[in-house]
Amino acid sequence: MYKDKKILAIIPARGGSKGIPKKNIIDLLGKPLLYYSIKGAKESKYLDKIVVSTDDKEIAEVTESLGIDVPFLRPKELSQDNSKSIDAFIHSIKEIEKLGKRYDYILLLQNTSPLRQSWHIDEAIEKLLESDERSLVSVSEVTEHPCIMRTLDEKGNTLPLISMTGDMRRQDFPPIYIVNGAIYIQKNDEHLNLNTNLNGGKLAYVMEREYSVDIDEYLDLEIATHYLKRMKEENL
């Protein structure tokens, strides 16, 4: 709870994953990937409830072994490759409300962001609830700037993705940010529904790139392993 507002965290972790089979419970430094998001959420100062949204009984068992109850399973039709995050998000909220619980703010913590720390969660909550906005999304600065990106026309000629002066130095490029998938927060009011665009959160919470690794392929696991080892050595 923060500023007398009750806060729920939802961690989506469906069973199907084509890029990395069983990705949500794959081993990462001796722990299932799911462990890191649960750990960060449990160490938050402000979260009142943590729910893992899954359709998979094995993932549910791993979740319970990590100290989080799984009061319901997500329907298979909301757990397909083309399923939207907002569908699972709203489903979880409704299931929790069926149990007689209602929360003022809802966080979506994607399980594929294992480097997100509890203090990131708390800072994001503080930033949103101290503002007049009703939604927040975490972002990080891009490594490949769109100023040097090109599209190609039908003749194979390059076209700039965005306009810029020809003599602009790389170090003078304006900062550009990308939604990194680590933290989404929405106020739980009449505006939150299946048409809500989670990526369209109004307020930005900026995270450093080293905490913004998103596990999509095996190379991402190697990068996350590198950073986790360094954090362990530095006692972060």
Residue 49 belongs to domain with CATH number: 3.90.550.10
C-beta atoms surrounding 88 within 10 Å: 22
The answer, yes or no, to whether residue 92 has pLDDT greater than 80, is yes
Residue 158 lies in a domain: no
The answer, yes or no, to whether residue 165 has pLDDT greater than 70, is no
pLDDT at 79: 75
Rounded average pLDDT over 15-19: 77
Percentage of residues of the chain with pLDDT beyond 90: 67
Residue 150 lies in a domain: no
Q: Alpha helices, DSSP H only, in the chain? A: 33-42, 57-65, 85-98, 118-129, 218-233
Rounded average pLDDT over 172-180: 86
pLDDT at 233: 81
The answer, yes or no, to whether residue 139 has pLDDT greater than 60, is yes
Rounded average pLDDT over 200-213: 94
Give the total number of structural domains in the chain: 1
d(CA 94, CA 99): 9
What per-residue string of b and e applies to 65-83 under the rule 16 or more CB within 10 Å gives b?
ebebebebbbeeebbeeeb
d(CA 173, CA 25): 39
C-beta atoms surrounding 50 within 10 Å: 22
Residue 168 lies in a domain: no
Q: How confident is the model at residue 122 (pLDDT cuts 50, 70, 90)?
A: very high
The answer, yes or no, to whether residue 18 has pLDDT greater than 90, is no
Which residues does residue 137 pair with via DSSP β-bridges, in sequence order? 184, 204
The answer, yes or no, to whether residue 106 has pLDDT greater than 70, is yes
Q: What residue numbers bound the domain in which 50 lies?
A: 7-142+176-233
d(CA 14, CA 78): 9
Residue 155 lies in a domain: no
Residue 199 lies in a domain: yes
Which residues does residue 178 pair with via DSSP β-bridges, in sequence order? 140
pLDDT at 102: 94
Name the more confident of 161 and 81: 161
